[in-house]
Structures are given as structure tokens and as C-alpha cells.
């Protein structure tokens, strides 16, 4: 694992955006695995800025996102499709048909999981997967205590995730209880993983994930077995082990 220690959140975003844009410059038709949440917001802002300056071109790039809430429509402002359109896709020249997320409104859950796995397979896997990390160690919505799953599946969100994500909703009862998530297997098959983390609140889980045992109790710990992980974290997030 390579560790890039940055001064603060903005520095972390710039460095992570540099790694992502280098990937797109070197392989314009690459497949980017993308993430939602608070942490990547500054990364997307930076990529948009560089796109507008003409430094990076997404016209051939394909994206597959990690996860989506079950039951939320794409135009629901809490859905991850909405987040991605709003924070990234509509500001750059990625083709809408090249952007993929699970469909929160799919009728058959098993069929939707199979469809999403087929999308990843048809594009020959993920070149670079951007990941955040939950305070409970989840990556995507692979929650603690569930077996390491291979393909996409529908997951019951952990209470800690529902409570952490309630800050985006008007109240906790509105947070969906289920989500589709790419499995740990698909994340592990990404050719390169870029995990970003910021703030003291992530320090303990980063330490547990990268220096503790590899266990489904700490889903991100499986990344210890991946041979090309770049951890971009700010000083506070890395304070307990670097």
C-alpha cells in the first residue's frame, strides 16, 4: 500500500484528483469506480475545475458507482444518481450513457444485482476504484459482520450507517434501510484502489483497517490483501498509524 499524507481536506482532494486525472489522461477510455458521501465532494469539485480548464477530458471514460439506496428514484435529491449528476457528471463531458449506478427502483432485486455485475463485466472490470470509508469500516455499503460478498447484492444498512447518513435527510426515519452495493469481490478486482479519508473521526477505523486483522467485522481490512492500494489521507485521519 502506498500512503499519501496530506495537510488537510483540500490538499487530500487535490492529491486524489491528481491520481484520478492521471488515470484518465493515461487511459481515456478507462473505467472509474466512483463513490458518494461527503469525502469525495472536494475531489469532484477539483476534477470539474481541471476539466473546465481543459486539463482532463472524460469523453471516453466510463463510470460505475459503488452503491445506491433501494427505493429512491434517480431524481430524488438523496439518491446517489442525483448526487453524482449534481456534483460531477453534469459539469464534465462524460457521456450520460457511460455512467452507471444500480437502479434504486428496479423491480427484481436479484435481477438488478445480476444486471449491474454484467455492466462491470462487459466493461472488463474497474481500472481505478475511488473509495471512502465509513466510521464502521464499510466500503461501499459492505457493512461489518457480513461475509465478504463477491458480486452486487442488496444489503440491510447497519444502524450506525443509518444514523451517520441521517445528516443528509430531514430525519432518520427517512433514511432507506436497504441499498444495493458492489460486493467486496468487485472492489478487490479493481486494478487500483484509491481510498480517501479526512479528519480525526476516521483515524481509529483507518488504523483498525490497515494494521488490524483482516476480518468481515472491519470490511475495509480486506484491502490489506489488494496489491495496489493508494491511501490518500490527511494528517488527522492518519494520525494513529502513520
Active site residues: 67, 136, 138, 143
When asked if residue 144 is in the footprint of ligand PGA (CB under 6 A), the reply is no
Q: How many residues does the chain have?
A: 242
When asked if residue 38 is in the footprint of ligand PGA (CB under 6 A), the reply is yes
CA distances, 194 to each of 126, 162, 167, 235 (Å): 12, 25, 25, 17
**CB-CB contact of 240 with 12 (8 Å):** no
Q: Which is nearer to ligand PGA, 33 or 37 (CB)?
A: 37
For the bound state, the minimum distance from the C-beta of residue 96 to ligand PGA, rounded and expressed in Å, comes to: 24
The stretch near ligand PGA (CB under 6 A) out of 21-29, 31-39, 45-53, 228-236 is 31-39
When asked if residue 134 is in the footprint of ligand PGA (CB under 6 A), the reply is yes
Which residue carries 449528476 as its cell?
A: 85
DSSP 135-187: TT--BTTB-TTS---SS-EEEEPPHHHHHHHGGGSSSGGGS-SEEEE--HHHH
The stretch near ligand PGA (CB under 6 A) out of 54-62, 70-78, 129-137, 221-229 is 129-137
Instruction: Return the bridge partners of 193, or none.
Output: 129, 229
Q: Which is nearer to ligand PGA, 104 or 137 (CB)?
A: 137
The stretch near ligand PGA (CB under 6 A) out of 52-60, 91-99, 128-136, 149-157 is 128-136
Amino acid at each position: 500500500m502506498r500512503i499519501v499524507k496530506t495537510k488537510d481536506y483540500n490538499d487530500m482532494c487535490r492529491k486524489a484528483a491528481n491520481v484520478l486525472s492521471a488515470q484518465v489522461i493515461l487511459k481515456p477510455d478507462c473505467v472509474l469506480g466512483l463513490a458518494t458521501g461527503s469525502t469525495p465532494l472536494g475531489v469532484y469539485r477539483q476534477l470539474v475545475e481541471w476539466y473546465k480548464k481543459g486539463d482532463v477530458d472524460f469523453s471516453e471514460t466510463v463510470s460505475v458507482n459503488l452503491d445506491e439506496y433501494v427505493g429512491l428514484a434517480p431524481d430524488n435529491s438523496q439518491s446517489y444518481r442525483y448526487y453524482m449528476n449534481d456534483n460531477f457528471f453534469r459539469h464534465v463531458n462524460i457521456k450520460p450513457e457511460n455512467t452507471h449506478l444500480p437502479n434504486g427502483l428496479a423491480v427484481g432485486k436479484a435481477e438488478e444485482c445480476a444486471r449491474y455485475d454484467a455492466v462491470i463485466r462487459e466493461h472488463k472490470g474497474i481500472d481505478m476504484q475511488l473509495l471512502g470509508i465509513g466510521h464502521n469500516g464499510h466500503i461501499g455499503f459492505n457493512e461489518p459482520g457480513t461475509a465478504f460478498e463477491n458480486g452486487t447484492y442488496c444489503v440491510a444498512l447497519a444502524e450506525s450507517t443509518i444514523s451517520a447518513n441521517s445528516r443528509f435527510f430531514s430525519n432518520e426515519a427517512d433514511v432507506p434501510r436497504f441499498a444495493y452495493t458492489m460486493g467486496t469481490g468487485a472492489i478487490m478486482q479493481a486494478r487500483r484502489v484509491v481510498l480517501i479519508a479526512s479528519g480525526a473521526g476516521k483515524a481509529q477505523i483507518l488504523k483498525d483497517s490497515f494494521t488490524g486483522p483482516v476480518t468481515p467485522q472491519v470490511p475495509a481490512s480486506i484491502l490489506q490483501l489488494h496489491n495496489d492500494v493508494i491511501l490518500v489521507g490527511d494528517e488527522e485521519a492518519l494520525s494513529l498509524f502513520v
